[in-house]
Amino acid sequence: MLVKEPFCLNESAQSPGTDRTLAILELLSEHSLGLSVAQMVRHLGISQNSAFRITHTLLQRGYLHRRESDKCFVLSNKLFDLSRPKINEKSLVVCAYEAMQALRDSEGETVQLLVRSADRAVVLEQVGGTHPVKVTGEVGLRVPLFSCAPGKAMLAWLPDDEFADWLGGVKLKSYTATTLSTRKALKEDLAETRKRGYAIDLAEGLEGIHCIGVPILNQYEYPVAALTVMSPSFRLPESEFERLGLECIRAAAAIQQRLFE
């Protein structure tokens, strides 16, 4: 197991306890199987008493879970729940869920709601498909924006200056033979996405998976999220893209109506 450099308190920090708490949360985010107090002490170089007090406070407040079998601590979903976006004081997930279910029921495919976080698209909610063979992910899953339909849908509606900043700081790479791994190819694809109203993913992130994605826009026409339908490529050929794209646009419009009504 790789051991991090010992934790070093930020000299400008106003609250050493807060600094240690955040260090523990960040460390646990990198170890999905969890860590014991002793392992945290070893990774961060903080005292055992400090690690014990912080983890038990976080446990009592619901930010951590502790397995009884080995006493290891793992992150709960509380931080993720706190960060779920709201628009007009309404929960994006709550406003989207009915339309997501209706789209899943009509298509039989998995439907996801995602938001942008830096250079990643993050799954906020998912309604699983009904077919025996289906594509699913996990809430909290992070995927590169440029290699998935929902990510490209959000990128296509970004203001020009914000997109330029993003493009200048991201490293494009190929995940499959069809990944848009050059700036020229990506910009051309996003221009087409904007024209037709939906993004397509031709197995650009994973082999054998096709997706359609549409943006969910706020009152300023800014992409606050994206809706996507995921399917094995054999069940979603290119001939079906336009029909499904229009269905996704209608679903996104229903979500926006709920957000702003």
DSSP 47-79: -HHHHHHHHHHHHHTTSEEE-TTT--EEE-SHH
Q: For the sheet containing 199-202, what is the strand order?
A: 142-144, 120-127, 110-117, 223-232, 209-217, 199-202
Report the Cα 165 to chain-centroid distance in Å.
20
Q: What one-character DSSP code corresponds to residue 35?
A: B
Band (pLDDT 50/70/90 cuts) for residue 83 is: low
Check if the beta carbon of residue 209 is closer than 8 Å to that of residue 201. Answer: yes
Band (pLDDT 50/70/90 cuts) for residue 89 is: low
Instruction: Give just the sign of the alpha carbon dihedral 231, 158, 248, 243.
Output: negative
Q: Indicate the range of 24-33, 77-86, 104-113, 176-185 predicted with least confidence.
A: 77-86
CATH superfamily of 84-260: GAF domain (3.30.450.40)
16-80 belongs to CATH 3.40.50.12170: no
Structural domain spans, the chain: 16-80, 84-260
Residues 6-41 have pLDDT tens digits of 555 555 556 788 889 999 998 998 887 899 999 999
Residues 6+ apart with CB under 8 A from 249: 197, 198, 214
Check if the beta carbon of residue 177 is closer than 8 Å to that of residue 208. Answer: no
Report whether pLDDT(81) > 80.
Answer: no
- The whole-angstrom separation of Cα 208 and Cα 60 is 44
The reported pTM is 0.72
- The whole-angstrom separation of Cα 10 and Cα 143 is 31
- The whole-angstrom separation of Cα 120 and Cα 175 is 15
Band (pLDDT 50/70/90 cuts) for residue 1 is: very low
Q: Decide the pairing of beta strands 199-202 and 86-87.
A: unpaired
